[in-house]
Structure 1
Amino acid sequence: MLTGKVAVITGGTRGIGNAIANLFAKNGASLAIIATRDNERAQKAINTIKELGADVRLYVCDVKDAEQVESVSEEILADFGKVDILVNNAGITRDNLLPSLSVMDIDDVIDINLKGTMFVTRSFIRSFVKQRHGNIINISSVVGLMGNKGQTNYAASKAGIVGFTKSVAKEYGRRNVRCNAIAPGYISTEMTEELSEAQVSELKAQLPLTRLGLPEDVANLALFLASENSSYITGEVIKVDGGMYV
């Protein structure tokens, strides 16, 4: 479905981002993976993608640093010659009740989740406009749509991505640039591994589908949005939440 396409994925060495990278590789895409560090985990993820037969390269970048982002985007474009798909997946949580959130807890979450998405998109948008096509997929969260206690900073960052997605879709649709967002619910990743068994059981009981999602559930939607099968879809926010927010 993605043969001949070049995809950039931020946070592509773990969790949802890694599942998207693997599925894109299986469907013929070449991949530029952006991660905060080049370590054993990152190299293992890259090697797994290489075993799938994909052309993949790792780029180290702090997405909240606009200068680093600009430099890495130029490097990627020089290495691959073009970029067709951008997946803004990099994100963190710093959960606590609002009075207990430090300034750093607020700044880090907003800077990485929201500003990082804006910086990376801005750095590639000129090339999308020039080649008159581009496909942006932003990873938001169902929490950005419904809110959640103990996650005011995270919810605000993910809600911001929703507004950003719709605005980019309106600004660049005439240049054949699409921009959509995915809003996952509770997905089994390192973030949810911090929950106790009792908490997980309680969450499952609240969900119509009675299970946590898998990273692959999100990746399947990302593949659809990245492909030509979704060529008339832009500005949408699609939930993958097992019915959590209906």
Structure 2
Amino acid sequence: MSGIVAGKLAFVTGAGSGIGRAVCRILAREGAKVIASDQNSKNVADTVATLEGGDHTALTVNVTSSKSINDAFKSVIERYAKPPTLVVNSAGITRDKYMLKLSEEDFDQVINVNLKGTFLVTQIAVKAMVEAGVSNGASVVNIASIIAKLGNIGQTNYSASKAGVVAMTKSASMEFGKFGVRINAVLPGFIKTPMTDAVPEHILGMAAAKSPLNRVGTPDEVAEVVTFLCSNKSSFVHGASIEVTGGYH
């Protein structure tokens, strides 16, 4: 199969819906074998059922648990005889409330999934690549958010978690270069996903109006950029934070 990531093995978290599902679809279209992972086993199985090509896998993974991630990577190596060299950290949650009403539990959950989860998956994946001698030319892409830069009312926990992802990506790029592993972050703006389905229409309308393109984005528009960053087409892009916002800033 031809495509800009043909023959590559990709591991995608948060693959059950939204941006993660779109990333799986575009990577598969461009020739990758996709390991789609999510905490929701039905949703991730549905994702894999829609992918072009063959030899894709659905895995149930809890990104806040190093045991769950390690078990997933063991099963991947057993099946494919090597670890994935493309990793996309798309698992994320929101627990939106004004800061003065935000519970400690809701703060911890968002940090654990969005920031710690990205750390654990990246650490375990890159270790596996290095140990298997397949790290040269590998790529990690972390889904952050434009809210990491701008902040947002009701999202002190979410903005902190995504700003952490951006900073961690920059620091990791300084460490991973010697192994030939590139790592970058993508900062989506307002994208129409199940995560935004709970947002009232008039708020989405306000968000769209803040974009010079006067609309919200689609998961595929983010996934195309992610796939470019996974490919050798972006071979000198490293430690970057790429905004996909329709000009919203």
1:183-219 Cα distance to aligned partner (Å, 9 max, x none): 0000000122112222122221121110000001101
1:156-201 Cα distance to aligned partner (Å, 9 max, x none): 0000001111111110101111000000000000122112222122
**CA distance in structure 2 between the aligned counterparts of 1:84 and 1:180, rounded to whole angstroms:** 14
Counterpart position of 2:22: 19
Counterpart position of 2:66: 66
After superposing on structure 2, the runs of 4+ consecutive aligned residues of structure 1 that deviate more than 3 Å are none
Amino acid at match of 2:246: G
TM-score, normalised on structure 1?
A: 0.95
Identity of aligned residues (%): 37
Amino acid at match of 1:143: I
TM-score, normalised on structure 2?
A: 0.94
Amino acid at match of 2:172: V
**CA distance in structure 2 between the aligned counterparts of 1:159 and 1:241, rounded to whole angstroms:** 16
Counterpart position of 2:215: 211
Amino acid at match of 2:92: G
Query: How much does 1:24 deviate?
Result: 0.5
**CA distance in structure 2 between the aligned counterparts of 1:187 and 1:69, rounded to whole angstroms:** 27
Contact 2:12–2:24 under 8 Å retained in 1: yes
Contact 1:29–1:54 under 8 Å retained in 2: no
Unaligned runs of 5+ in 1: none
Contact 1:28–1:54 under 8 Å retained in 2: no
Matched residue SS, 1:208:
coil
Amino acid at match of 1:191: M
**CA distance in structure 1 between the aligned counterparts of 2:104 and 2:69, rounded to whole angstroms:** 24
Asked whether 1:187 is paired with 2:191, we answer yes
**CA distance in structure 2 between the aligned counterparts of 1:46 and 1:58, rounded to whole angstroms:** 6
Number of residue pairs matched? 242
Counterpart position of 1:116: 117
Query: How much does 1:231 deviate?
Result: 0.5
Counterpart position of 1:243: 247
Asked whether 1:104 is paired with 2:108, we answer no
CA RMSD of aligned residues (A): 1.1
